[in-house]
């Protein structure tokens, strides 16, 4: 049963929204299987998919290298009706895990953005995220595979900095980050601090 058929069936029942993310730095492109069928194909590193609608029930998830049948990750997830989820492959390939997040930004005012920070860099310490040049700290002590709550901020352009928790040493600069009014977004730290590949992927969480 392909994903289109699943979505048609899901439309007739209680559903949940699910997207996947490839945050494993040393893994090849992957296929994501749901209940034995490919649902997301040839997903490259640093990619967050669009949401797909699935029945609100238990599902078997398996991740394989693209075109391969041998799973590098498999798990069972229980999806609740009218909820949205992000399922992120995190860590190095030898120790890859699935980090499942509930995407619930709430109602967003037209002049605000709700922003969440997700730590998916396997060799980076716990981090704080702040506005540069003496601006406020938006979240603190986010550990690997952790995520902050959604933080409401005024819509606009921000120079953001990611620093090790309690430090002033900037690990990642995100200049001119546009946060649109009425939107929700996840900023996901990916790559590795040790080889200067640390970066961020922004995913639209607007419901």
148-174 pLDDT per residue, tens: 999 999 999 999 999 999 999 999 999
- Would you say 19 and 191 are in contact if contact means Cβ atoms under 8 Å apart? no
Domain 112-204: give its CATH code.
Answer: 2.60.40.1120
CATH 2.60.40.1120 assigned to domain 3-102? The reply is: yes
pLDDT band at 12, cuts 50/70/90?
A: low
CA dist., res. 7 & res. 2, Å (int): 9
| 7 pLDDT above the threshold of 80 | no
| Single pTM value for the model | 0.91
The ranges of the chain annotated as CATH 2.60.40.1120 are 3-102, 112-204
């Amino acid at each position: 049963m392909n994903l289109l058929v699943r979505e048609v069936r899901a439309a007739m029942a209680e559903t949940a929204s699910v997207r996947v993310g490839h945050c494993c730095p040393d893994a090849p492109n992957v296929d994501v299987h749901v209940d034995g069928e490919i649902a997301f194909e040839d997903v490259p590193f640093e990619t967050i998919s669009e949401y797909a609608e699935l029945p609100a029930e238990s599902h078997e998830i398996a991740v394989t290298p693209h075109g391969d049948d041998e799973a590098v990750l498999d798990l069972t997830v229980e999806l609740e009706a009218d909820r949205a989820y992000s399922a992120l492959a995190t860590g190095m390939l030898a120790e890859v895990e699935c980090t499942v997040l509930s995407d619930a930004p709430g109602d967003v005012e037209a002049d605000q953005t709700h922003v969440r920070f997700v730590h998916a860099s396997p060799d980076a310490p716990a981090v704080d995220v702040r506005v540069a040049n003496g601006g406020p700290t938006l979240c603190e002590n986010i550990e690997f595979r952790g995520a902050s709550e959604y933080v409401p901020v005024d819509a606009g352009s921000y120079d953001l900095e990611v620093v090790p928790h309690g430090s002033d040493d900037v690990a990642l600069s995100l200049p001119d980050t546009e946060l649109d009014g009425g939107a929700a977004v996840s900023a996901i730290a990916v790559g590795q601090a040790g080889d200067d590949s640390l970066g961020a992927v922004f995913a639209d969480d607007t419901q």
